[in-house]
Amino acid sequence: MLVKKRKPKRCPRCGAERIARIQYGMPIMNEQLEADLAAGRVVLGGCCEEIDAPAWCCTSCALPLHRAPKL
């Protein structure tokens, strides 16, 4: 499991600069979200955020990335 403090610029596996934020919950569609989805900046993670669910993922190779817990 890959844990990062911040959203990385590049995918640590494939090197693509295609890291998207995973948004959980019912999305409220608006122009900003539609643009983010179309651009691959945001992906929808489903209605329920599970424990240990990844915060980001690579949209190139689907590598999940986890946010380091705040201490």
Q: Which of 37, 63, 64, 67 binds Zn ion (CB under 5 A)?
A: 63
Nearest to 64 by CA among 24, 20, 16, 23: 20
Q: Which of 3, 35, 61, 68 binds Zn ion (CB under 5 A)?
A: 61
Q: Cβ(19)–Cβ(6) under 8 Å? A: no
Which of positions 7-26 make contact with Zn ion (CB under 5 A)? 11, 13-14, 16
Of 23-31, 32-40, 45-53, 58-66, which part binds Zn ion (CB under 5 A)? 58-66
59 binds Zn ion (CB under 5 A): no
Q: Using CA atoms, how far apart are residues 58 and 11, in angstroms rounded to an integer? A: 6
